[in-house]
Structure 1
Amino acid sequence: MTVTQAPQIEHRQAAALTAAENERFVGLVRSLGPGDWSEPTDCPAWDVRAMTGHVLGMMEFTCSVREFVHVIRAGEKAAGERPAIDGMTEVQVAERAHLTREQLLARLAEAAPRTSRIRRMLPAPLRWIPMPQENEGVTEHWRLGYLFDVILTRDTWMHRVDISRATGREMVLTADHDGLLVADAVAEWARRHGRPYVLTLHGPAGGTFRDGDGGEEIALDAVEFCRILSGRGTGSGLLGQPVPF
């Protein structure tokens, strides 16, 4: 598979991936036992419960204009000199900290299909709304469609990775779902570094990707590749090129 020739995920396909990923995340959280919720995750400030509150918050963030505006405004205030996203996630977690596990699960079950529908129906003009975002100290010019179609699904997927690792659960991985999300991350990684490479990713979500001649040759697990790109692991050479998750 040559990444430079691979089509980007289109809006309809993104909507299907979102729905499937939300369903898998809810299924994972439902499987957790009482002792799992306090387990630490790869995000040092969050245990499993706090991370679940964040994912719920991001789902509800897209479900109403009022919540969307509230989180952005409150997040910017909470962030101070830090990136706004740090304040936004803190607000989301804090405002859901009072929920019982049963309430958290009930709201997840309600929000997961609702956010999938809303993101699927987002009109094209709205998907083009600019969303400036600080990434690795640089302000990038995202579009709302990129946030809704790509980043929010990657975020949920990566937190499913986090919770699976934290609780010792085997992560459900399939080529037709996780493989597409990983391939899309590979394509963005390749665009960002712009250099030749040969990449072999192992596991159900993996594949072989290449671009150009004489580039760096990399082989590792597909999930670990994404963890490194997200900043959860460390990598040298081209693996030092981060990708937003």
Structure 2
Amino acid sequence: MTATTAPPPRLPRIERGLAMCLAETEYARCADLLTRLDPQQWSAPTANTGWTVRDTAGHMLGMAQMMASLPQLLGQLSTSMRQARQAKAPVSIDFLTALQVRRNAGLTTAELIRRWREVSPRALRGRRRLPGLLLRRTLPEAQLVGGHLERWTVGYLTDIVLTRDPFMHRLDICAAIGLDPQPTAEHDGLLVDDVVREWAERHGHPYTLELTGPAGGVWGTGGERITLDALDFCRRVSGRGEATGLLATGLLATGLLATAVPF
């Protein structure tokens, strides 16, 4: 029998200085979006099962609170990991996000927006201050991606996933209320490029991907040709359902767009 070697923990692709600039911009865009919401829009259902716009914003705030304070970080992680062990769940992320929604459920929307504006700069500082030695360490818990457990470095979580998370939830909120997320090449385009490159590495097959819109571009040569909107692509590989036209192109048979990328 041939021994199977586990892949190394996943590292960030984006240089750290740029990663923190993208995080800062994403936090600001989320603040702007939350400020623009009308009272009735907070109760709209989102693509996140069981979550309204209000619930989604509560989770976003909770994640920022976690990175803004060491007591919050340790408290949230220990509570969610304990709950996962008690439930015999393979990972604790669902318990963590549910905890964040519950803890912020009592805030008014005005209080939530105010706290987001107060906490997100502190979360950014917390992420920026993490030393390189810690960033290269492997997270103590494996992560579930596309039905498979894998290992991440701390840097992959803090520099990549913690920016993709509010980015995707900003798209979720915009989709829920029919609002244009107004993507730009300078910000959203860089996030999409990183997602595409990771997606291609994960599936390992030839492809030609043409993504439309301001955040789009063309990647790959040969193989299956895929064309769709850049933000729809991100939503699809995040597990949020099919983008327009997939059945007509036969892409479900190839399986390339079923390759999951964490957000």
Normalised TM-score (structure 1): 0.93
Give the deviation of 1:102 after TM superposition: 1.4
Give the deviation of 1:136 after TM superposition: 2.9
The residue aligned with 2:88 is 81
Give the deviation of 1:135 after TM superposition: 2.2
Indicate which of 98, 112, 115 corresponds to 2:120: 112
How do 1:61-72 residues align onto structure 2 when only pairs under 5 Å count? 61-72=66-77
Give the deviation of 1:115 after TM superposition: 1.1
C-alpha distance in 2 between matches for 1:123 and 1:200: 37
The answer to whether the 8 Å contact 1:77/1:87 transfers is no
Give the deviation of 1:121 after TM superposition: 2.2
Moved more, 69-78 or 174-183: 69-78
Give the deviation of 1:170 after TM superposition: 1.2
C-alpha distance in 2 between matches for 1:240 and 1:60: 32
Does the alignment pair 1:155 with 2:165? Answer: yes
The residue aligned with 1:3 is none
Indicate which of 21, 32, 40 corresponds to 2:37: 32
Q: What amino acid maps onto 1:191 in structure 2?
A: E
C-alpha distance in 1 between matches for 2:240 and 2:260: 10
What residue ranges of structure 2 are gaps of 5+ in the alignment?
Answer: 1-11, 243-250
2:151 aligns to what SS in structure 1? strand
Q: What amino acid maps onto 2:259 in structure 1?
A: Q
Does the alignment pair 1:183 with 2:193? Answer: yes
Identical residues among aligned pairs (%): 45
C-alpha distance in 1 between matches for 2:60 and 2:182: 18
2:152 aligns to what SS in structure 1? strand
Report how many aligned residue pairs link the two structures: 237
C-alpha distance in 2 between matches for 1:134 and 1:227: 17
Normalised TM-score (structure 2): 0.87
How do 1:86-235 residues align onto structure 2 when only pairs under 5 Å count? 86-131=94-139, 132-211=142-221, 214-234=222-242
The answer to whether the 8 Å contact 1:189/1:242 transfers is yes
Aligned-pair Cα RMSD in Å:
1.4
The answer to whether the 8 Å contact 1:22/1:112 transfers is yes
The answer to whether the 8 Å contact 2:69/2:126 transfers is no
The answer to whether the 8 Å contact 1:78/1:91 transfers is no
